[in-house]
Amino acid sequence: MTSPDPSSILDLIQAFRRSKVMFTAVSLGIFDKLQSNPANAAELATSLQCNPDALERLLDSCIALGFLSRSDGKYTNTEISSAYLVSNSPNTLAGYVMHSDLSLYPLWANLEDAVREGTNRWEQTFGSGKGLFDHFFRNEESRRSFLNGMHGFGCLSSPSVVRAFDLGFFRRVADLGGATGHLLIAACEAYPHLTGVVFDLPAVKPFAEEHIAASPAAGRIQFLSGDFFKDDLPPADLYFLARIVHDWSEEKIALLLRRIFAALPSGGGLLIAESLLDEDHSGPLPALMQHLNMLICTEGKERSCSEYKLLLESVGFRSVECRRTGTFLDAVLARKP
């Protein structure tokens, strides 16, 4: 009998190596260095304080991954690395790469224990049980790296999320836990009549205002400091929750949804942006990987459309609809009768 093709298994055995090559190249600042000045391995090794032979191996691996090219011995960034791996690019994902390297990579090393015990791995990995947000908000540098990472990652999906449904009926949006405001910015740019407020913790304000100021819709967007579990929610006829529901326990999410429902006028809406699982939880693969990521990192989980309907209807919402966007975040819209 012919053995099945082992290529998928062999690919996964080595997949983490490719990820770590990209993580390390970003961490060392290779793409930032090469963005303005192509250089050979020896020159880069001197400026980055690396072993020349070891660095050349890393650089050549980046060529094979499509992140660098080489001509006359000098390395240069490719189009994709210039767009997404250079830290000051407007579309940069460098912050999310660093988040993945410094936080997710070590957390995922403890996946087996998370599966055995059913709890996140913060204390085991970092010696603290405080969790994701305390970890990333511990100082300004950490906040900036985390928020810029979330911004770059969010910008890939936000334009599709706000177009998944016609939001023309609504007039004022409150983006709860909106961080840098990428989803609200996308909404206000897509719908010229909308105004809105990003509602998040005080420490987020300077970072959010940087990104809001860069938008042509900046005049219609404000930032308001607050805690959506404790403080009065800003008035709106549409609330956004983007990558919020999957972070928290069932009890905390029920509390938040009840608060939103109470604050909404009749006919108001709630737009949730998360990765939708298939009804039988057999896919899509990125959503299932995020489902496991939530186990490792948080109290929460991803859900299917029917699970969102049960959750939202339990606090009074009706007309719950789900739409896939073709990006890593999908959209769920619910209305208050």
Structure token digits, residue 17: 């190596």
Active site residue 246: yes
Identify the burial level of 105 via C-beta atoms within 10 angstroms of its C-beta, where 0-12 means exposed, 13-18 middle and 19 or more buried.
middle
User: From CA 311, how far away is CA 257, in angstroms rounded?
Assistant: 9
Residue position matching structure tokens 């983490």: 16
Residues 135, 151, 246, 291: which is the catalytic one? 246
Strand, coil or helix: 290: helix
Burial 294-319 (b: 16+ CB within 10 A, else e): bbbbbbbbbbbbeebbebbeebebee
Report the relative pairing of strands 172-176 and 238-242 from DSSP bridges: parallel
Give the integer Cα–Cα distance in Å for 304 and 149: 26
Question: CA neighbours within 13 Å on the CB side: how many for 11?
Answer: 4
Distance of alpha carbon 161 from alpha carbon 175, whole angstroms? 13
Cβ–Cβ under 8 Å, residues 152 and 94: yes
| Catalytic residue numbers, as ranges | 246
